[in-house]
Amino acid sequence: IPMAMPAPKQKNRKNTTTTTMGNKVSLEEQLINLRIVSKQMQRSSTKCRKNENSAKEKLKKAIQQGNEEGARIYAQDAIREKNQSIAHLRMASRIDGCASRIETAVRMNQVTDGMKGVVRGMDKSLASMDIVQMGRLMDKFEQQFEDLDVKTQYMEGSMNATTATSTPVNEVDSLIEVVADEHNLELGEAFQKAGIGKKTPQLQEPAAAESEAEPNSLEARLANLRN
């Protein structure tokens, strides 16, 4: 009886659609998409500007022909194209700004979970080229960066406050003056504005004391002569 051959084992194939290096590659891919969409927005802005100029030419002809209704239509078209041109240009600027900050976050390993969550829904918004959807997307991204900036500023402020409270200002100023005196260094204008190295009043006090001591010594001599 012929023995049945065992079925060949199927090799487990790796899912190439998943990211092998975390979300970093996904963010870098989205960076490329953001740059592309930004250029598309700039081209769209330029096209709207051309349409605006064309509508203005038609408006001029309508005015020359005394066509009041047509003039209003062309005027509305020109205004609409102008507003769209400005909107697309602003969106291109916002996208460039977000792309630059994402690139910095990836490079400095400061990507947050919130940023990753926004990236997951980015493809549809970018593909639609819908100004409203893209505006909402940029709002979410900018909020993530604002939260990161607040945390960074809080940490820097806490570190500065700790350093300031642990080291008295007068000790710092005194040490600066001591080191400057030891090495015969002059404290420049920046130090003087901070109140360090102002020794002029101290030099004037002994002079004033000497000027006051001289009359007293003369009076003592006169008193001795009289006696």
Close Cβ partners of 186 (under 8 Å, ≥ 6 residues apart) = 180, 197
User: Would you give per-residue pLDDT tens digits along the chain (227 residues)?
Assistant: 455 555 545 444 333 233 434 444 467 777 788 888 889 889 999 999 999 999 999 999 898 888 888 899 999 999 999 999 999 999 888 888 888 877 877 777 766 666 666 666 666 666 666 777 777 777 777 776 665 554 445 444 544 544 444 556 777 778 778 777 887 877 777 777 777 776 544 445 555 555 555 556 666 766 666 65
pTM: 0.50
- CA–centroid distance for 191 within its chain: 30
Q: Which of 132, 127, 51 has the alpha carbon at shortest distance from 85? A: 51
Q: Are 41 and 92 contacting, i.e. CB atoms less than 8 angstroms apart?
A: yes
DSSP characters for 139-193?
HHHHHHHHHHHHHHHHHHHHHHHHHHHHS-HHHHHHHHHHHHHHTTPPP-HHHHH
Q: Distance between CA 26 and CA 207 in Å, rounded? A: 75
Residues 138-176: tens digit of each pLDDT = 777 777 666 555 444 544 454 454 444 455 677 777 877
8-state DSSP, 17: T
